[in-house]
Every structure is written in C-alpha cells, then in structure tokens.
Structure 1
Amino acid sequence: MGHGITPAEPSGSELVHSLLDEAAAEAPSACAVRDDSGAWSYRQLAELSHGFARRLRALGVRPGDRVVVQAETTRELVAMFFGTSRSGAVFVPLNPAMKQFHLRSVIANAEPRLIVADTAAAERLRETTAVPVHTVDSLWPDIARSAGPPTAGEHVEVASDAIAALIYTSGSTASPKAVISPHAQVTFASRAIQAELAYRPDDVVFCRFPMSWDYGLYKVLLSCLGRSELVLAGQESDLSLIRRMRETGTTIVPVVPSLATMIATLVGRDRGALPPVRLFTNTGAALPRSTIDALREAFPGARVVRQFGQTECKRIAIMPPELEHERPDSVGRPLPGTEVRILDEDGRPVPTGRSGEIVVLGPHVMPGYWRSPELTAATFRTDEATGGLRLHTGDYGRLDEDGYLYFDGRRDDMFKRKGLRMSVLEIEAAAMDIPGIRAATAVPPGREHDLTLFVETDLAPQAVLRELARRLEPAKVPAECRALAELPLTQHGKNERRQLAAMLEGSHR
C-alpha cells in the first residue's frame, strides 16, 4: 500500500547555495545566523561564502573534490558550507567529537582534497593523514578580505545532480557509511519540509545540534527558506539554555527526547519570563507522551511537531503543526511530492493498518552510500513501476486509511520473546508512562541475558516492574530492571542500546 500527498510539489533542480542567494536578495539586512561571538546578515553570509569559495579555488580545490571540515558549529562553518557548494566541491562535515580510530577510516573513505579544522583538531588530524590540514583561524583573515559579491568570470557551473555533501551516519556498520546528498535531493527535501513547518521571517531558530548531523545541517537551509534567524547554540551551557532562548527571542526549537526533557525541567526552575517559543520539532527518537505533555505545560500555546525520517531521504513524514492533537500515535503524513509504501518480506504491499517495512519513493531519496556498492544495492532499489529509486528503510510501520504513518520500530528494535513478537519501543513507552521515570532504555534478550530495562528514576526496580505488569502483556515485562544515574546516549541523543547490552554481557561472565 502506498500514500503520497502532493500539494505544491517542490522543485528538485536547485542548488544549495541558491537558497542563500534567494534569501540575501529578498532580505539582505535580516539576521541570518548568530553564535556566541556575534551575528551576520544574509548579505554578509552570502559575501563570506563567496570569500570561502575563492579561497578553496586558490588552494586547488576543484568541482567534485571533497572538503572535510571538523569544527564546532559556528557562523564560520555555515559560510564554509555555502562556499563549498559555490565552488562545486563536496562538503563533508565531521563531528568534532569523532575519535582518531573513526577519523582514519572516514578520511580514507572520503579522500578529501583538503581538511579544515579547529586548532586542536588540526593537530590530531595532521598525525592521521598526509592530506593538507588548515585551521579555521589561519584561513579566516583571507576569507574575510576576499568576501564580497560575485565577480565576472568566477562563476562555477554546478549541476543539480552533483553531490553537495557527504553525511557520515552513526549506523551499525563497522566501516564508514556516508550518505551521498546531491543538490537536487537536498533542496527538494528542504522545500518539502518548509511546506509543512512554514518557518517565517520573524522566527528565531535555536539549534543545539552540530552540522555534522543532518538535523543541524538542514536547519541552516530551512532558516534560509523562511528568511529566519538561526541561533547556533551547541556550545551553550545546559544551565544557560532558557536564558539564551529568552535573550534571543527563540520561537522554534528543534529537539531530541533528552533535550526536550532538559528544557521542560529547566523552565520549571527558571524564574524569568518564558521565551516566545511557538514550535518544538522532534526527530532522532519518538518523544514520550510524558515529555510532550511537559513541554506543553511549560510553554502554553507552543506546538510540538512529530517528525520521522532518515538521512537517506532526510525526512519521511511530518505531522502538520495545526494537527498536533490528532492521531497522537502517528508520526505524520508523507512529505509533499513523496510516497510511502508498506511492504511485506517478499516486497508486496500489505493491507491498510498492517505493519510492514517502510519503503520511500520520491525526489528526496538519495542515490546511495559513498563508495559502498553492496550496501547501496541492498538499501536503494529500482522501483519497477516508476523506474526511480526506492529506499528500503529497515524501519517497520503502518499506514491508516488517510495515509498517516505509524512507526513500529526498526528491524534491530524488534525481537521475539516467549513466542511473541515485540519492540523495545513499546516497552520504553510503557516505562515512560510511569510517574517518576525520567528516561528508559530496553535491551532485548541476548546470549547471556534476558530482556532488561534500564531507567533513570528514584523508584525501586521492583516497583517499576510491578507498574509495567499493569501496562504490558506478561511476555513483554522485562526480567530485570536496573536504575542508573544517567542513561548513555549517542551523539545524536538516541538511546545507546549497544553500550548497555555490552554492560549486561560483561556482568554475566
């Protein structure tokens, strides 16, 4: 079964830097981006991006070359992103927290022409590779001097199917896995998301996430489309978040569950006026109902938007903000101009309401993984009916009669216990329904342990299990509950299940 909703289908023939150029032409003096050291208008950002493109050309970077950047998410990084796009090169943002072990394999996989990094990271990188490594500080004076509008003869022809970025994901494969992100797919996805979320010129977007994660990277593009102000707050202290949101007049806050919980808690302790937030948008993992309720209570009138997606197509579904109270278990409807199908193990459509693999078609489906043909062939397959690529997500879900999507879990999240198929997500959701539980991660049975639940709570483990028995079928009640002071999370705020599983395996030896 498939559903697609196609009002005002976005164009898929644009370039990434054209989104900035449109904003600079329409709102040149509007604030584009702010960090803890200052702010730039859209005109300034555009001119500095030209300066970076000129510097790349002077350093021998040509269209198609990869430019690896490992730096904190600042105004300079935003200018470098657009400048790389202008030059026709490929932007490869890496998380500043990435360690040497992974850096070596990523650089070998990307084969960059050059690397730009913060000063501390540059020293480590020079020990890792023979590729030229430049620091942001050493490049920036020349970039600032050469900033300015385009001049005759320096325009670089960039095709819409050229690669704009390689986004390295934190997947389960041992080798590096970079999603190829061409200009056409990136700009289509950005406009399709904007068609649902409707960023505005009076919006201030408070982003805590690095541009190495597509959630942070696309906030740059969405802000351009809305002519909004983007506040880069990744280096802000946790305790100062509410104050900074208030000072900047924040109206939109992208969150993951851990950040949402923190914000709701901090507001309860803050005595100042509430920031004027009108929209929370979520991704990474589903927000527990208790967290949604806490945000609504802390910010009366703010809407909490459920979203669902993967880097491989950026976004799959969004629950429109005006429908936030409808279908509370749904993750939304497919993006404009896209299609979602639910298929069984043999690739056949399943009836409405039945669970199967979520398969995605549309102009936002990326072409594959960089230099990984086998993984690409397994994940991105040609659709016989349309001839286009369809993305096999490895996620399971179902569609209702109106085309709204419901997420049931990843293949890795689902398991059988006592003859019954179940998902860690439903166990975690039941745990989060118990008053007093701040966070929960369920670990499926392994070779040396049974189904186990880890929680952040002051409740006794046996009390948690008793409450779960009131909410779940007997087979779904974990054999053990362990309380931790803080549950481990990935760099993207998702549950770090593998670390907890390793802890269990070690404790039973």
Structure 2
Amino acid sequence: MAAARVSPLVAALDAAAEARPDAPAVSEGAASTRWTYAELADASRAVSSWLRGPGGVRPGDRVVLRIGNRMAFAALYYGVLRAGAVAVPLSPEMRPYLLAAVLADAQPRVVVHQEDETGRGLEAARACGAVLATSDMLLASPARRGAGETDVAVAPDSVGQLIYTSGSTSTPKGVVCTHTQVDFAARAIGARLGYRPDDVVLGLLPLSFDYGLYQLLLSVAAGAELVLGEATVPTRALALLRSRRATVVPVVPSLAAMLVRLVARGELPRHVRLFTNTGAALPQQCIEALRAGFPGAAVVAMYGITECKRVTIGEPDGDLLRPGSVGRPLPGTSVRIVDADGAGLPAGQLGEIVVSGPHVMSGYWGAPELTAQRFRHDPTTGASTLHTGDYGRLDEEGHLYFAGRRDDQFKRRGVRTSSTEIEGAALDIAGVTAAAALPPRDGLDLRLAVTASLTADEVLVELGRRLESAKVPSSCVLLESFPLTANGKIDRKALHALRF
C-alpha cells in the first residue's frame, strides 16, 4: 500500500499558489470579490485550523458544505481535505424531508450552513448531532503554520468526498470518492479539455452537482480563475458572462437555451472559446445556436456518471463529423457495451455501458448490496467495473453514442433525480395514497399522477416543500385509480399516453 501523504487535490492548490500566488483563483459575481491563489490557500488553512480545533474534526469525519455557489465554498472544500476529513457538498435547496435522510446516512461531524439559514434545515442538522457552523466562523480562524501543524496526511485510497446522487432508491445515495480517484478524474478531464491559466471559467452550475464541483478542481489544476454565479436569474447570469469575459462555460440544456435566448439581444460575445456539456445531451439545434450566438466558441459533448465522474469526452465541435457522439474514453479508461447477460457486443450494437478505470469510484456509502449491484469485478482482470445502467453503442473507432437510461433516472435542469425519489416524496404527503412520476419524454415535461384527497395544486405545493425545484413536476393529475399491467403494476405507458 502506498504511503500516506497530503491529498493530491490539496497539493494541486498549493502548487498553484506557489507558482502564481497573485493570479486570481476564485471570485463571486463582481470582480472586486476575489481571492488570489495565495489567498485561497491561506483561507483553506484557516478552515482546516478551525475544523481540527473548535470543530473537533478527526481524519475521516464527514463535513457537510451547504452554502451554495459562494467563494467561501472553495476554501471550505480544500480546508476539509487539508484536515483529512471528507467533504460532503449539499444543495442549500435540499428540503428537510431529504436533508434529514442524507444527514442520517452521512453522520457528519460538522454542518456548514448559510449565515441567514433558519427553520427545519437547521433542525435537521441539529437532530443528527452535528456541530453547526457558518463559513465566517471557519474563515476567521488563524491559519496553523507552526511546527506540528502541517496538513494531515491521507492514504491514497482514503475517502475525500461523498457526492449524494439520486438513483433507484427513494432517497439520494452517497457515492464514495477517494482522493486518488478524484485526482485522476480531474487531471484526465483537464488534459482532454485543455483548460489554460488564462481561462476564466464560468461556474453557474451548483457546486453540490459534481459537474459544477469539478469546475473548481479543473480551474485549480490549470491555474485558471473560477467565477461563481447562479443561473436562477437569467439576465444576471449573462451579464456575469459578459462582464467577466468568460472563456469556458459549462452548460446543461436549460442553461444553454437560456444563454442562446438572451445573447441575441446585444453584441455577440467573442471571448467564449469553449462550451462543455454533460448531464443531459444538448439538442442539435441548441448546439448550432450556441455557435451562432458566441462566434468562435467550440462545443464539446461529454458523457459521465457520478459513480466515475467522466467516461468520454468528444473533440471540439465533434458533432459536425459524428452527430450524436459523446466522444472517446479518457486515457486509462475502458468502455464496453454488454448485453443483458454481460457478454460483450460488437461495434454498432446497443447495450449497457460498462466502464473500468482508475476513476471508477468505490461504491455507495453504507450500502454494500447496492454497491455490489453496480460495482463489480472483471472475472479476467480483477479490475473494478461500473455497470452504469445506461444504454449506448460504440462505433468502429471507439466513439460512444449515448442512447438513454435503463432505469428511471433522469436529469432535469442539471439535477439528477429519479421517479422513485419523486414518488417517495409524494407519498410522504398526507392524503396521497398512490403516485407515479413520469420523466420528461416526447416533448412533455416531468409530470406526476396521484390518487389523493388533495387538489393537484396542493400536491405540487407540498412536493415543493420536500424537493428541490428542479425535481418538482410541472403538472399533476388526480386519478380515481391507476391503469395496471397484467402483473398488477402501474402501467406507465398508459399514463404517459394521457399527455396531461
């Protein structure tokens, strides 16, 4: 086993701070709110100092970061790793219904919350026995630099972060990510995308979403600047892109469509050089509109899954040559397409996407049975393989074409969720006796059918108190009873045909 050392993720930050101490590292909205790399490294040391002192955090303890897209998040994240603890980014929008379940699963030592947060979110944090803190408290701690106060050494296979993601269970599950796995993924993605020291990366996607979080890691690895904002106010997001002269813009379809719609109202920005896309595929017309609205910008399609972060990355504007392709596997990554029995399929045939490589994560936190279902070992090589549950095909040159998800998982507005999660929240509402969520399909948005004593609007309001806005269906219909299959299960095809 390799000897313990400082996290390679922390080492990347310190290397950037040593090489370019005065270069901008992370900023929040206005350019005046900014940390240089030296300042970010110092701020992360202050966080580590508080965690190891008043916070009582020991190596391996979980620390929940629930503050949204704020500059302080960067210091908190690296400070947690510096202390040898496990970072657990969570959305501030996570409703108490799910937050309580996630906190019970993660058992954090510390929960860092927003300064102005009140109500049931804090009650859920208190109920799990965690120490409650704000980012201001942690950042006010003096950085430890004296003898014996060096960073905590971690074993390469020790856990660095838990990323909670929805899937086939009714509540989110924590993907276990070691320092080495995350470091490999960040370096491999950065090498393929070619982030540069002079890049300004626009971080509009939530930092609790792994696509958003990795923008921080990629920016640090390249010595670039990450500009944090939110996409909730469209005009403000575009104004930030323009004023900060962003060069790299990661998008999901809803964000891309918003930018395309707004950019035509003013001078077309020519400083954006790269749009990246994963989470959900961009429609071809949206890709073309991005090129038209942002002259000189290339679009890169990617495919990934939280359980191994990124699988394939396409060439810039690769869709022009291979429409629908999401690129080739990362270096050191193997992608196979298998049938229902696990046998490999030849190029061109559709089957399940199976991935192996150094970035295949370590399973699900506290869920050995679920881990065994998705994370298996190759009987020949012994390598860990991830059965993604997604369908796709490979062409003769190894380019992947994603065809959809095998189960009920889907992404909406960049947030990954599942029908099971939404239905579980609906059934938590008093008066709801049955529920079926229908994922977006055939031009229809996310919908919900229920049998209930409430009105449809009342169900959606109650659901909004339990789930993030991206997980709340756009419409709800009340049924006296559900159509059933011959096996007594809800007939989802018949429900979808109702087109409510």
Report the TM range for the smaller structure's normalisation.
0.7 to 0.9
SS in 2 for 1:245: helix
Match of 1:138 in 2: 137
Letter in 2 for 1:20: L
Match of 1:349 in 2: 344
* C-alpha contact (below 8 Å) 1:354/1:398 kept by paired residues: yes
- TM-superposition CA deviations, 1:63-104 (whole Å, max 9, x none): 000011211221111101000001100001110000111111
Q: Is 1:169 matched up with 2:165?
A: yes
Unaligned runs of 5+ in 2: 413-434, 446-463, 483-500
Match of 2:73 in 1: 77
SS in 2 for 1:120: coil
Shift of residue 114, structure 1, vs aligned partner? 1.4
- TM-superposition CA deviations, 1:261-307 (whole Å, max 9, x none): 000010012x2451510000011110000100110110121101101
SS in 2 for 1:409: strand
Aligned counterpart for 2:357 among listed residues 362, 376, 383? 362
Distance 1:29 1:507, change over 3 A: farther
Match of 1:41 in 2: 36
Q: Is 1:330 matched up with 2:330?
A: no
Counterpart Cα distance in 2 of 1:352 and 1:313: 23
Identity of aligned residues (%): 47
Match of 1:233 in 2: 229
Q: How many residues align?
A: 428
Match of 1:25 in 2: 18
- TM-superposition CA deviations, 1:211-239 (whole Å, max 9, x none): 11101110000001111110001277311
Counterpart Cα distance in 1 of 2:272 and 2:75: 27
Aligned counterpart for 1:308 among listed residues 282, 285, 303? 303
Aligned counterpart for 1:402 among listed residues 397, 401, 416? 397
Match of 1:249 in 2: 245
Is the deviation greater in 63-72 or in 114-123? Answer: 114-123
TM-score if structure 2 supplies the norm length? 0.80
Shift of residue 321, structure 1, vs aligned partner? 1.8
Shift of residue 154, structure 1, vs aligned partner? 1.5
Give the alignment of 1:88-487 within 5 angstroms.
Answer: 88-121=84-117, 123-128=119-124, 129=127, 130-142=129-141, 146-147=142-143, 150-155=145-150, 156-234=152-230, 237-269=233-265, 271-272=266-267, 274=269, 276-321=271-316, 323-412=318-407, 453-455=442-444
* C-alpha contact (below 8 Å) 1:278/1:303 kept by paired residues: yes
Letter in 1 for 2:383: G
Counterpart Cα distance in 2 of 1:216 and 1:125: 23
SS in 1 for 2:117: helix
Shift of residue 203, structure 1, vs aligned partner? 0.5
SS in 1 for 2:167: coil
Distance 1:407 1:452, change over 3 A: closer
* C-alpha contact (below 8 Å) 2:44/2:79 kept by paired residues: yes
Counterpart Cα distance in 2 of 1:453 and 1:281: 25
- TM-superposition CA deviations, 1:155-211 (whole Å, max 9, x none): 211111111100001324113300001100000000110111000011100011121
Unaligned runs of 5+ in 1: 1-11, 415-422, 426-445, 457-487
* C-alpha contact (below 8 Å) 1:125/1:133 kept by paired residues: no
Counterpart Cα distance in 1 of 2:178 and 2:469: 23
* C-alpha contact (below 8 Å) 2:334/2:355 kept by paired residues: yes
Counterpart Cα distance in 2 of 1:382 and 1:241: 44
Is the deviation greater in 165-174 or in 107-116? Answer: 165-174
Shift of residue 385, structure 1, vs aligned partner? 1.8
* C-alpha contact (below 8 Å) 2:7/2:153 kept by paired residues: no
